[in-house]
Amino acid sequence: MIRRLNYTGRRRIRRDDIGIRIRSDGDGVPSVDATLLLAGYRLPADARVFIEAYRQTAWQRLDYGTVGEIRPPTDRRLIAFGSAEGVLFRVKVVEVPGAAGGNRPARILAHAESIRPRVAEEHERPSLLPIDPGDFRDEVWRLEFDESGPPVLKVSRHLVPDWRSLPGTREFMTLALPEILRSILKHIVLVEKHTDLDDVENWRTQWLRFAAGLPGAAGAPPRPGDGDVEQWIDDAVAAFCRKAQIAGRFRQWWRLEE
Amino acid sequence: MELRRLNEEGTRRMEAFLDSLTTETPEPYPESLLTDPATSAALEVRIEVERRSFPRRFELAQYLYNRLSGSGLREPERDDGLWAWLALFWFDPLCPPGTDRRRRPGERARWIPEIGSARRYYRHLILGPYLIYAAHSDDPLRAMCLLCQAVHVPGDVVEQIAARPQLVTSRAVVGAATRLYCNGDRSLRRGAGGKGPGSARRLGDVIMQFERTFDLHALTESELLRMLPPEFDRFKTDRSSGR
């Protein structure tokens, strides 16, 4: 994996400061309502604010004015998309072209990526592990890591038409969830070598804080090379299993042959 | 023939056909799946398609874009049964036999699209070029580096650019890639694929680093080309990219 460096001081906008909701008007074209709280980031008042919707090769930018004067566009319909299904958003704050003089392209001053919109009236806290329908037909589920966002649990919509319900079943919880947690922690600590517990807006940090905060877990993860990372992951998974009562739930449905 | 969509049963039987091609007892081409009401369904609008071959992904995408856009069909790009039907309909040019006369269909996503997977949707042999063409329909020649390949061999340049939404949706990135990697006759230049200096793989990595800093969608092709490091100079020298 290629590590990408951020030398520019680009700031990450907290999810709590972004609210993106989708509503559908009479014509069936989805439309965006967004609230942005950017006052605390000390960004230039004249910096441009954009919200971008994207899915596959479709992309649409909405101009939300400037940091000093957030002004939603009158037409906020997602005309590049026939429906809001699978559409993600990013927020970008971009310096005014030519702000630094010369011909340098406009820099991104602050951003937030892979934002899942909420449908109108939905208020619950975003899940640490989003669940999406998958188009595959040979596997029941997959854990997918994306370059720009948190891991997503995908469940085959062909094999499980009621795909949202699968992760809540006792069979899935007991057989799959501990290994899913192990895979995610391995990816974060061993592949991406991320051990930071302070950057609470980072999905990796959120997972590490979840694991470190489990009763009986071993606290903060060791840095790769400083300790037994594999053991820390095993301890975290064991702590998760105790907290979720995986063994007891398993015994409820598993019957040993007489 | 009238374009239809495969249903679950049709898709399942198409999968069985594809699987059989890797065995010693390949099944015959299941033509009837295309029209049998038990395996396919009519669309909401009537669209005619012809059984024909296409020299490149570009002509395939153009042909379909001209038929689907403005047809009244709602979100055809989300209709996996439609794309599976088309892949089966054009199976012969999409899966030509090798020198040993065997057909090798490759991974399932080439035939039945995984529309919800950002890592696989573009691998479909028909939906992939269609989406790229549609995204650059204001100037499709801009995307020639992603559409100049034979319909059954998308290749490495497509894999490197189309797999990253930030890149494939950017006019500057796609236009710059075409300028770098397409010859005047709109074929791909030697060295565009692979891992070498200046390759499309390196272009993807370098631009993803730029993307951390700059607003890619505000850049022009020329600005982006000027920002590239010297390893790309050998591709910049010949400007006869056919655009």
- ipTM value for the complex: 0.82
Instruction: Give the tokens for residue B239.
Output: 């400007």
Supply the pLDDT for residue A135.
Answer: 84
* Structural domain boundaries in chain B: 1-55+77-116, 136-243
* Structural domain boundaries in chain A: 11-119, 131-253
Q: Of residues B37 and A85, which shows the higher confidence score?
A: B37
Q: Which of A82, A133, A157 sits opposite B75 (nearest CB)?
A: A82
User: Across the interface, do B75 and A138 touch by the CB < 8 Å criterion?
Assistant: no
User: Across the interface, do A4 and B117 touch by the CB < 8 Å criterion?
Assistant: no
Average pLDDT over residues A88-97: 90
Supply the pLDDT for residue A126.
Answer: 63
Q: Which of B80, B135, B218 sits opposite A105 (nearest CB)?
A: B218
**How many percent of chain A have pLDDT more than 90?**
24
Supply the pLDDT for residue A163.
Answer: 87
Among the listed ranges A92-106, B35-49, B115-129, which one has the minimum average pLDDT value?
Answer: A92-106
Q: Which of A6, A92, A133 sits opposite B215 (nearest CB)?
A: A92
- Per the CB < 8 A criterion, the answer to whether B45 and B71 are in contact is yes
Supply the pLDDT for residue A8.
Answer: 64
Q: Residues in chain B whose beta carbon is closer than 8 A to a beta carbon of chain A?
A: 8, 11-12, 15, 74-75, 77-78, 80, 108, 112-119, 121-122, 131-132, 134-135, 162, 164-166, 168-169, 205, 208-209, 212-215, 217-219, 223, 227
pLDDT in tens, A43-90: 999 999 999 999 988 899 999 999 998 999 998 889 888 788 889 999
pLDDT in tens, A120-138: 544 455 678 888 888 888 8
Supply the pLDDT for residue B57.
Answer: 96
pLDDT at A2 over 50: no
Place of tokens 């990013």: A90
Which chain B residues have a beta carbon less than 8 Å from that of A136? 108, 114, 117
Place of tokens 């340098």: A104
SS3 per-residue string spanning chain A: CCCCCCCCCCEECCHHHEEEEEEECCCCCEEEEEEECCHHHCCCCCCEEEEEEEECCEEEEEEEEECCCECCCCCCECCCCCCCCCCEEEEEEECCCCCCCCCCCCEEEEEEEEECCEECCCCCCCCCCCEEEECCCCCCEEEECCCCCCCEEEEECCCCCCHHHHHHCHHHHHHCHHHHHHHHHHHHHHHCCCCCCCCCCCHHHHHHHHHHCCCCCCCCCCCECCECHHHHHHHHHHHHHHHCCHHHHHHHHCCCCC
Q: Which of A55, A86, A107 sits opposite B213 (nearest CB)?
A: A107
Query: How far apart, in whole angstroms, are the C-alpha atoms of residue A132 and residue A148?
Result: 16
Supply the pLDDT for residue B65.
Answer: 96
pLDDT at B144 over 90: yes
Give one DSSP letter per residue of B82-113, joined into a string. HHHHHHHHTHHHHS---TTS-----SGGGTS-
Does this model's pTM top 0.80? My answer is no
Q: Which of A56, A92, A106 sits opposite B131 (nearest CB)?
A: A56
Residue B202: partners with Cβ closer than 8 Å, 6 or more residues away: B195, B196, B231, B232
Q: Residues in chain A whose beta carbon is closer than 8 A to a beta carbon of chain B?
A: 2, 4-8, 10, 52, 54-59, 61, 82-83, 85-86, 92, 94, 97, 103, 105-108, 132-138, 144, 146-148, 154, 157-158
Supply the pLDDT for residue A255.
Answer: 75
A131-134 and A152-156 as β-strands: parallel, antiparallel, unpaired?
Answer: parallel
Supply the pLDDT for residue B219.
Answer: 87
Average pLDDT over residues B161-186: 89
pLDDT at B91 over 90: yes
- Per the CB < 8 A criterion, the answer to whether A88 and A58 are in contact is no
pLDDT in tens, A210-237: 888 887 777 788 876 777 888 889 989 9
pLDDT in tens, B55-75: 999 999 999 999 998 888 888
